[in-house]
Structure 1
Amino acid sequence: MALPCAILLLAAACNQQPAGEAVTRVDLDNPGADLAPTPAPTPSASAASACRTVTFEDARLTDCIADPAQHTITTIVGNPPYRGFKTLSEAQPDLAQRLAFAVNAGMFDGDGKPIGYYVKGGDRGKELNRADGAGNFHLKPNGVFFGSAGKWRVLSADAFYSTVGDRPQFGTQSGPMLVVDGKLHPEITDDGPSRTIRNGVGIDPSGRAHFVVSEGPVSFGKLARYYRDVVKSPNALYLDGSVSALWDPASGRMDASAPIGPMLLIEKKAP
């Protein structure tokens, strides 16, 4: 496995699929089936932004960091689903003031509802999905990002099922896993031909959650290596492909290229 050849920290800040295609957005066996356009340039970051732009191997990535000492994390879908940050911001106009950033939270059906495990405020809206099927979500192992009381974790779905007894405060299921117990997902190649905008989540050794979105098309392998080699995440989870989206109020960024499903809100703790 090649090691990263360059990591350059910069001072900058940090899609509608047809109904039913959200689950199979990018198929590893069908490279090139979903090549998303490069998003608009990221606005310049303010000092308050939790996001930074990095260059890893030849790819620009935006890495937004949530710190349990400074932030809380919640999930949200809406009823009916908001399907995007703009609609959410209009429904909750005060949210931007307390929001550090927000990202899409994993795979969803044609109506924008989660297809896997989903918990908001300790209430389970969807059970753990361990079924077999086609598409990225079912590329086993898939996994769950979850947490309670400032402790956040990523586990494979099987590990979550066998070891987590208490319902967390928040949780969302997606797939595939990018890193599993310190190793790349067994079906992910070093730098395969399937390229699209991608994002994921992983926890660093300090317990901080890194939400990373690519600023251009990247392979699964490259995003996975960033989590393994730079973030040092023992487990990292793919959130989605061409609909990957970030709302960073501090930099004025609000991605809105396609409807999304559930979202993760990273809010600032009160002083």
Structure 2
Amino acid sequence: MHWLSMLLGLVSLGAATPAVAGACMQLDHDGNRYTVCEVVAGRDDLRMWLTAPDGAVFGSFDRVNASLADQGLRLGFAMNAGMYHSDRSPVGLYRDPDGAAGDLVTSAGPGNFGLLPNGVFCIAGDRFQVVESRIFSREQPECDYATQSGPMLVIDGDLHPRFLVDATSRYVRNGVGVSEDGSRAWFAISERRVTFHEFGRLFRDGLGTPNALYFDGNISRLHAPDLRRNDWGLPLGPIVGTVVPIDDQSPGG
């Protein structure tokens, strides 16, 4: 589904249409409100961060921004990008141009991460992918950046089989979905507590993504300057976001 078509179906009355790809805006779906940021492959500079040059985990949007400022850059938008241990090391695989951390986890385990199937979000040049972890292990796709999380929200057009319509577990949740051709990715965070089933339906039915991946539901946070938003809290593990020049004041930039 094209971004404009999605807007016509979901946007609240009075909401502004984004001027450029990569802008974040609020959307309503099935009675819940979400903030969704669209990224276009080959046009928007999407990256991930974990370890700073000093060897410490970045841990916050502000620390990433401070590092980028030395290059005349800043975050366009950003959010946490996967689960992590108490030392903020990733629970599963993480990869960026500076190296890799964590091991790919393909076996079932406790918590949401181990609720198979889980998956990997991969940034590869001018293409995005959400790949089921066992397929990722078998095919070993090339990724400039990669982060593993779980569970998958949407798998080849179907909701995760363990999601229940009448579930009672509700959290503020965030995740990512990718268009069928890999040219676009949508990052979403709920504005109030939602179930897995509700969050999965946003990606499958609202955004039309055949594959989508859950990031987290306990520490979900968003940095979106065009919405005057910079969520704060306990230190983060992996972070994903767009990079723009400091003097770029356009929406999403």
Once the two structures are superposed, residues 200-242 of structure 1 have per-residue CA deviations (whole angstroms, 9 ceiling, x without a partner) of 1001245210000001101110110111112111111000012
For the 8 Å contact 1:53–1:61, the answer to whether it is kept is yes
Separation in 1, partners of 2:94, 2:210: 22
Separation in 1, partners of 2:157, 2:195: 19
Q: Does structure 1 residue 266 correspond to structure 2 residue 242?
A: yes
| Aligned residue in 2 for 1:74 | 47
| Aligned residue in 2 for 1:146 | 122
What TM-score does the superposition give when structure 1 sets the normalisation length?
0.78
Separation in 2, partners of 1:124, 1:187: 30
Give unmatched runs, 5+ long, in structure 2: 1-8, 249-253
Once the two structures are superposed, residues 157-207 of structure 1 have per-residue CA deviations (whole angstroms, 9 ceiling, x without a partner) of 01111223x431000000000011111101111241100100110012452
Q: Does structure 1 residue 243 correspond to structure 2 residue 219?
A: yes
| Aligned residue in 1 for 2:6 | none
1:86 maps to which of 59, 62, 73: 62
Q: Percent of pairs identical after alignment?
A: 35
| Aligned residue in 2 for 1:223 | 199
Number of aligned residue pairs? 234
| Aligned residue in 1 for 2:35 | 62
Once the two structures are superposed, residues 45-89 of structure 1 have per-residue CA deviations (whole angstroms, 9 ceiling, x without a partner) of 985661010011111100100111321222111231122112333
1:106 maps to which of 78, 82, 85: 82
Distance 1:216 1:77, change over 3 A: same
For the 8 Å contact 1:144–1:160, the answer to whether it is kept is yes
For the 8 Å contact 2:154–2:204, the answer to whether it is kept is yes
Q: Does structure 1 residue 7 correspond to structure 2 residue 10?
A: yes
SS at match of 1:228: helix
What TM-score does the superposition give when structure 2 sets the normalisation length?
0.83
Once the two structures are superposed, residues 10-43 of structure 1 have per-residue CA deviations (whole angstroms, 9 ceiling, x without a partner) of 5658xxxxxxxxxxxxxxxxxxxxxxxxxxxxxx
| Aligned residue in 2 for 1:167 | 142
> 1:253 Cα deviation (Å)?
1.3
SS at match of 1:130: coil
1:187 maps to which of 162, 174, 197: 162
Aligned alpha-carbon RMSD (Å) = 2.6
Separation in 1, partners of 2:198, 2:241: 26
For the 8 Å contact 1:81–1:112, the answer to whether it is kept is yes
SS at match of 2:106: coil
Give unmatched runs, 5+ long, in structure 1: 1-5, 14-44
